[in-house]
Amino acid sequence: MYIHNINFKRISICILVLIQISLIVSYYFVQKDNGANSGSSKISFLNSRNYQQSPNITYHTVKDELILPKLHVRDKFTDFNSSLCFTNGTDLKSMERTKSSWTCECKTGWHGPECGQPEIVWRALLTNKQKLKVKGPMKYSRRVLYIFEVNEFMENIIDIRINELHDVIDMFIIFENEGNKIEKLLKNGFLKKYHNKILYIKNLIVKNLYQSITSSLRNLENNDIIVFSKSMEIPNKLALGFLKYYDNWPEPISFRLRWSVFGFFWKHPRKTRTEGIAFSVKYMKKTFASNFEELYKRRPVLGLVLGDLNHYGGWFCEYCMDPIQIIKYANEENLELVKWKQLNKNQIDVSYIEDLIGNGLYVDGKTELERSRKYQDLYFAPTYVSDNSMKYDFLLINLYTKLDYYEG
């Protein structure tokens, strides 16, 4: 009996060992077979070169053929009983509590039947001389192209602009006519996170800009929107969001911007500048004959201006760069606003610029700037800048102030 038990145990152990060896051998051959298959079977993608990029693909150029996605607008709206409410502008929690509401309850700063009009849009429509009745929401959102020229002095503004607006802009189209500073930055990973939304164009005649864009973006539609900037503008993203989802607003639209100087801690005494322009592809074809050079030559009669002294349509951040860049920028750019020729050129050095920033004087050395306080000014700075204070401390805090105490 004892011997029988020993043999049984030995047989059981042998069986377990054999099972383990079989499993190991089977796993080895399965892995080997998978490896062989993976070498011969590659994942194939559609040759449309659209947004679904591999990590190795960088920003787009005019050599790429791009297809902009068409998105259903209802992704941004919520059905509630018989109402369709703009999700970001509606107090959904309050509506859920009452359960009896058949109209959208807007959050503070939002208006309209669907709570889809941000404050600056609602105020502009309310004060417009013409009786306007915007239509919407549309079935599909309008794609927004943001087109702007870049140069070596605009690195900060480009970074802020794209990080601030990436969720409402479908494609950033940047063109660089002189030098390749921004192109080098892009190649080195500048804004890598958003390269799938960047179309870079180099060394082109402005007259041919639209043709270069349409040769790459193959599915533009007449109601898609073009936003165009010449300088240091950062439009209000809430306003751009409204343009995507609604129709029948008067074209073209411009933005009354909060005029900051050196950083967001100083405001120009004139407070605002009306800059930037937005219009449909149809308007571009009809009014400018698809020629961006016309935008440089003449300014069209505006259909609507977004923003006022209390609710800005965005920011114009003039000379928001370090003192060395300010000097180089002033010397190289032909700026009508700044009369640098009136200054003693020997006076324009880093110390001089630092004194201007510290004391709140404009570049003419005479005009006094107004102080803006971070915790009192609702439109102190774009959200991205405020949320990244470590990165942009030099635009949020006056580092050159000579005062013993600086009230932020």
* CA 228/CA 149 separation, integer angstroms: 9
In this prediction, residues 237-260 reach a mean pLDDT of 95
Q: How confident is the model at residue 380 (pLDDT cuts 50, 70, 90)?
A: very high
Is residue 11 over pLDDT 70?
no
Task: Spell 312-338 as b/e; 16+ CB within 10 A means b.
Answer: bbbbbbbbbbebebbbebbeeeeeeeb
Is pLDDT above 90 for 271? yes
* pLDDT, mean of residues 399-407: 66
The mean predicted confidence, pLDDT, of the chain is: 83
pLDDT tens track for 295-316: 878 778 889 999 998 899 999 9
Range 246-262 average pLDDT: 95
Instruction: Decide if pLDDT at 9 tops 80.
Output: no
50 pLDDT above the threshold of 60: no
Mean pLDDT for 154-178 is 95
Write down the pLDDT at residue 347.
64
More confident residue, 132 or 30: 132
* Class of 144-318 in CATH: alpha beta
Q: What are phi and psi of 26, to 5 degrees?
A: -60, -45
Q: What is the pLDDT of residue 276?
A: 93
Q: 3-state class of 1 per DSSP? A: coil
Find the mean pLDDT for residues 59-67.
93
Averaged pLDDT, 149-174: 95
- Whole-number pLDDT of residue 51: 39
**Mean local confidence (pLDDT), 331-360:** 69
- What pLDDT does residue 43 have? 25
Residue 394 has pLDDT above 90, yes or no: yes
DSSP 24-39: HHHHHHHHHHHHHHHH
- Does residue 345 carry a pLDDT above 60? no
Among 164, 119, 147, 120, which residue's Cα sits nearest to residue 264? 164
Question: Across residues 228-256, what is the average pLDDT?
Answer: 94
Cβ-contact 240, 168 below 8 angstroms: yes
Mean predicted confidence (pLDDT) in 12-24: 59
For a pLDDT cut of 90, what percent of the chain falls above it?
58
**Per-residue pLDDT at 55:** 52
CA dihedral 358, 359, 364, 368 (to 10 degrees): 130
pTM (two decimals): 0.82
Question: pLDDT tens digits, residue range 212-231?
Answer: 999 999 899 999 999 999 88
Domain ranges of the chain: 74-124, 144-318, 323-396
| pLDDT band for position 102 (cuts 50, 70, 90) | confident
pLDDT at residue 375 in the model: 85
Helix, strand, or coil here: 51? coil
